[in-house]
Amino acid sequence: MYDASPIRLPAGLSSIFPGNRKNHSPACLKLSALYRLSVRSIEWIKISAQKPHDSKFLPDLNQLKGALFLFDLGYFSHAFLHQLCEIGVWFVCRLKANSVPIITKVVKGVAKRHIGRPLDKNVNLRGMIVEVWGKLNLPGTKSLEVRLIGFRFPLTKEYRWYVTNIPNSMVLAEWIYPIYRLRWQIELFFKSIKSMLHADQITSENKNIVLVTAYSSILASLIANSIIIEYALVSAKIELKSVTAQRITFVFSLIANDLAKCILKKDFPPKTFIENLTNLLPLLVCPNRKHRPTSLEIVAMFDPI
């Protein structure tokens, strides 16, 4: 999954790290990251000024061939979806409001007479889940056919549309929304490095200090994942699907001082550090898990097709 998150900086850095809003955030840097859920860690990260559009900073997409790629509306474009399809990347994302596909096939929730028409407010929709295939226009005369699933939300009674290139022979329509919700894990990663590792509390107007603080938070997150996940799986027998990025960073914030002592002081043996870490591992599991399973646990419950 891929996303970006801003970190506000002192106004004196506006010429080096220009932000999007001169009044609220004249200086702001942006963390753009590729997060791999299977290992609860970032695989690629870029630090830049906030002002350039998010789509300007992307990892090598060829490394994602055969993987499931989740991203938000900030990266949505017909050309980008076409690029992912050409590489062989599976994707799930939201449909942008100004994108109006032409219906090419109806699966459920729409009358077949609408085939060949735009998927807009003039199309009558039925049921909690609507599924169609649609054509997105590309430059020139080309087009891209994608699968479109609409979910009706009870509170607003409106449909929210999602786009994917995964066929229904691999993933059922009702799975698409829970799968897309997994994207929240990268938001938890950003939240954790900002709140628990204090990446958002930069007061210096020195560019080098700003970058050192940001990279230190990222490095701490990588250390937390490599150490804590290994012991969680091996020692505590905790299932990875029960663990979020935020809980990993929370445990690391409690054990970071011991880790520093273990590295810097001879009188603090590694065995003591491991014992203290083991005692904290139960905190990796959210206390509300019994009442509300994690998004990954919900997806893991799906029966194979």
225, 249: one domain: yes
Q: Which residues make beta-bridge pairs with 28?
A: 8
What does the angle CA 20 – CA 21 – CA 25 come to, to the nearest 5 degrees? 95
The lowest-confidence range among 134-148, 167-181, 243-257 is 243-257
In a domain, residue 43? The reply is no
Residue 288 within any structural domain of the chain: yes
> Is the domain of 165 the same as that of 224?
no
Give me the amino acid identity at 27.
Answer: A
Higher per-residue confidence, 132 vs 283: 132
Express each pLDDT in 217-247 by its tens digit: 888 888 877 888 777 777 667 777 777 777 8
If asked whether residues 195 and 288 sit together in one domain, one would say yes
Do 167 and 229 fall within a single domain? no
Instruction: State the alpha helices, DSSP H only, in the chain.
Output: 78-87, 176-181, 184-195, 207-234, 245-264, 270-280, 295-300
Establish if 93 belongs to a structural domain.
yes
Domain final position from 109, 140, 172: 172
In angstroms, rounded to a whole number, what is the distance separating the alpha carbons of residues 284 and 299?
Answer: 19
CB-side neighbour CA atoms (13 Å) of 91: 28
Among 295, 195, 288, 210, which Cα is nearest to 249's? 195
Encode pLDDT of 15-67 as tens digits.
Answer: 999 988 877 789 999 999 999 887 778 889 999 999 888 888 889 999 999 99
- The last residue of a domain, from among 111, 146, 172: 172
Domain hosting residue 160, numbered range? 76-172
Do 146 and 226 fall into the same domain?
A: no
Could you give the percent of the chain with pLDDT greater than 70?
A: 94
CB-based contact 36:106 (threshold 8 Å)? no
> Which of 129, 145, 172 is the last residue before a domain boundary?
172
Both 208 and 291 in a single domain?
yes
pLDDT confidence of residue 234? 72
Residues 117 and 212 in one domain: no
**Res. 96 pLDDT band, cuts 50 70 90:** very high
Residue 15 belongs to some domain of the structure = no
Say if CB 247 and CB 284 are below 8 A apart: yes
Contact between residue 238 and residue 281 where contact means Cβ atoms under 8 Å apart: yes
Q: Indicate the number of domains in the chain.
A: 2
